[in-house]
Chains A and B, each alone.
Chain A
Amino acid sequence: MEDVGDAVKKYSGLILIYLLLILLSLISTAYLEIVYYVLFLMVISQSLNIIMGFGGLYNFGHAVFIGIGAYVFALLVVQGLNPYISMIAGGIVSSAVAFLIGIVVLRLRGPFFAICTLSTVPAVKYLIIGGKIAGGAAGITLFRYLGEAYNPYMLTYILLISSVAITILTLKVSASPLGYSLKALREDHDVAETSGVDTTRCKIIAFIISALFPGVAGGVLAFKIFWVMPETVIDLTWSIEAILIVLLGGSGTTIGPIIGAVVYEVLKDLLMRYFPGLQLLIFGLLVVAIISVAPEGIVGLLKNRFKRLRSFLI
């Protein structure tokens, strides 16, 4: 029978990592920057994990949610709304858009889904540029609205709270009927259907959830770079990195994307120092290696090698 001790053990891995991040951020502004990037990647990877890890749907267009959050944030801030509320609004609108995209795109399977979602990234970019939406290619500059309020600590901690929130969400979903349904349809879509799982509903809900926090992160991003334009906030690189991190850490686990994000950012920083310019090359090869050799990611590897860590790696 499980007691508080076991429960604490289970979550201690997570708690440890978060504490570590908080401590690091307090050392100096340089470390704060690193923690910011780790948390940014963490938030978007954990969100992707819900649709990709649990649902088995590789959303290559994940970066679009960040962009939408950033744009909504910018549009609201320009109207005079409080930036923090604007961030939340960004997340909500992002989820709403996810719903709209989802009802169209989630019917597609496997590679077709991948192609379609991959194409949404340039599509949204060109829609904004060509349709001259929200400033078109020139975008919206934000310093004059936000410059005085700029506080990097606040931004980092918003990401931290988002990450905690989505961790809790992931844990809840994982043990919930939704979670089991998702995992079922990930394993075999048709069998799940015939077993009575409402796959469409599950996929859409998961998709919506996966868009919420990237939307908020988009607002945070906009606050950091002060210039929202297609080029700066809609970037396929984030989709790539998110997928990479989920795979690296351990797709479908809760702590996987968290570990993945930390490892990824640390590696990236190290590589920047010693092999500048080669990061993405090495990561591309890394992913290929992981897929071939360790499809379960770091969490999988650790679970297999160090049986005693199993209880910590949820």
Chain B
Amino acid sequence: MFELVFQVLVYGVIIGAVYGLATMGLNLIWGVMRVVNFTHAELLTLGAYTAYWAWVLIGLNPIASIPLSALLGFVIGIFIFYIIIYRLLFSPDIHSTLVATFALGVALAELMKVLWTADYRGVPWALGVIKFSWFSIPITYVFTFISCILIIIIVYFILYRTYFGKSIRAVIWDSGAAAICGVNVKATLALGFALGSALAFIGGSLIVIYLPTGINPYMGHLYLLRCFVIAVVGGLGNPWGALAGGLVLGLLEQVSPIVLGYIPGVEPLSLTPFLSFLILIIVLLIMPEGILGRRR
């Protein structure tokens, strides 16, 4: 019993950390500019492809390709922001950014399909496992977890120890007041979006470690529901909310199949995503600001 609980906890936390990291970008972008970035899924996919091509062309393992992903994500984020988002931020219709990012996502997925075909690709990176008598965990998972921690620390530094981070936090809190205080809001928004994009790319690269094969242009959709649940449950405006949400979901995905297994006539593993959706609805209804969001 103890072994089971321990395994569930360890796996849940490790996977949850990656989910959380992958979603942090979503929370950040919402916090900074009140835009739900529906392109998020495709940014994740692009990050995964970055890791793949880095592996195939340069021989970098997914963790080593994180700086590359981050850089690419950042640049592409700036690009997307200036070309599309900025125009629409002040339009009277609040749905413009929603639909635009969604459409952009569709376009990106199709572009990937044209460039790289819909074949499944994988990065078969394996380093062996650490084995206890009842429990084994792949070394790659451990490295991933450590990288997550490191990246979280780096993000923390950026947000709390740099001017840029300070301006982001200011804009999240109140963009009008920030402008009065001399913050260059436009630049901050751009950099905030770029940072969110970079985080999505990094998340995508890390996810590759869990997915031995299956990188394809549409893989983002697999994580779409998960990311929304995490973002909302954790608290949309708060990047750390994503981590909280990620942990919740990671543990849920490990525990729920066991619990649901007691209900006859259902398939517990297939029903788990539905369960996460129910949680999404409940949270949206009674606590839309999420666990770590600002109480309005």
Contacts and interface: CB of A to CB of B under 8 A. Distances in A.
Contacts of B88: 291-292
Interface string A271-300: 000000111111111111001100100000
A5 interface: no
A306 to B, nearest CB: 24
B36 A115 contact: yes
Contact of A277 (B93, B94, B114, B285): B114
Nearest to B34: A111
Nearest to A110: B94
B288 A112 contact: yes
Interface string B65-101: 0000000000000000000100110010111101110
B267 interface: yes
B108 interface: yes
Interface in B137-153: none
Contacts of A107: 285
A259 interface: no
B94 A247 contact: no
A287 B221 CA distance: 20
Interface stretch (B201-209, B241-249, B276-284): B276-284
Contact of A136 (B93, B111, B267, B288): B267
Interface stretch (A37-45, A65-73, A125-133): A125-133
B267 A284 contact: no
Interface string B266-278: 1111111110011
B270 A130 contact: yes
B8 interface: no
B128 interface: no
A119 interface: yes
A58 B98 contact: yes
A85 interface: no
B228 A115 contact: yes
Interface residues of B, number: 51
A285 B95 CA distance: 17
A155 B210 CA distance: 46
Contact of B285 (A104, A137, A288): A104
Contacts of A284: 103-108, 110
B267 A129 contact: yes
B114 A247 contact: no
B111 A122 contact: no
B104 A111 contact: no
B113 interface: yes
Nearest to A122: B225
Contacts of A292: 84, 87-88, 100
A129 B103 contact: no
A278 B114 contact: yes
B224 interface: yes
A145 B273 CA distance: 33
Contacts of A236: 221
B271 A287 contact: no
Contacts of A104: 281, 285
B265 interface: yes
A281 B110 CA distance: 5
Nearest to A240: B106
A130 B103 CA distance: 30
Interface string A121-165: 011001101111000110000000000000000000000000000
Contacts of A123: 225, 273-274, 277-278
B51 interface: no
A76 interface: no
Nearest to A239: B102
Contacts of B93: 295
Given A127-B274, A292-B88, A122 B224 contact: yes
B274 A132 contact: no
B106 A127 contact: no
Interface string B97-131: 01110111111111101100000000000000000
Given A120-B277, A131-B271, A284-B107, A114 B266 contact: no
B103 A288 contact: yes
A119 B280 contact: yes
Nearest to A136: B267
A50 interface: no
Q: Tell which of A58, A112, A123, A277 has the most Cβ of chain B within 10 Å.
A: A123
B44 interface: no
B48 interface: no
A126 B271 contact: yes
A163 B293 CA distance: 45
13 contacts: A108-B284, A108-B288, A111-B34, A115-B36, A122-B273, A130-B267, A132-B266, A137-B270, A278-B110, A281-B107, A281-B113, A287-B106, A291-B99
Interface of A: 56, 58, 60, 104-105, 107-108, 110-112, 114-116, 118-120, 122-123, 126-127, 129-132, 136-137, 236, 240, 243-244, 247, 277-288, 291-292, 295
Interface of B: 30, 34-36, 38, 84, 87-88, 91, 93-96, 98-100, 102-111, 113-114, 221, 224-225, 228-229, 232, 265-274, 277-278, 280-281, 284-285, 288
Q: Lowest 5 A-B CB distances belong to which pairs?
A: A284-B107, A130-B271, A281-B110, A130-B270, A287-B103
Given A112-B284, A123-B274, A284-B104, 16 more contacts: A58-B98, A104-B285, A108-B288, A110-B94, A122-B225, A122-B273, A123-B277, A126-B273, A130-B266, A130-B270, A131-B266, A281-B113, A286-B103, A288-B104, A291-B100, A295-B91
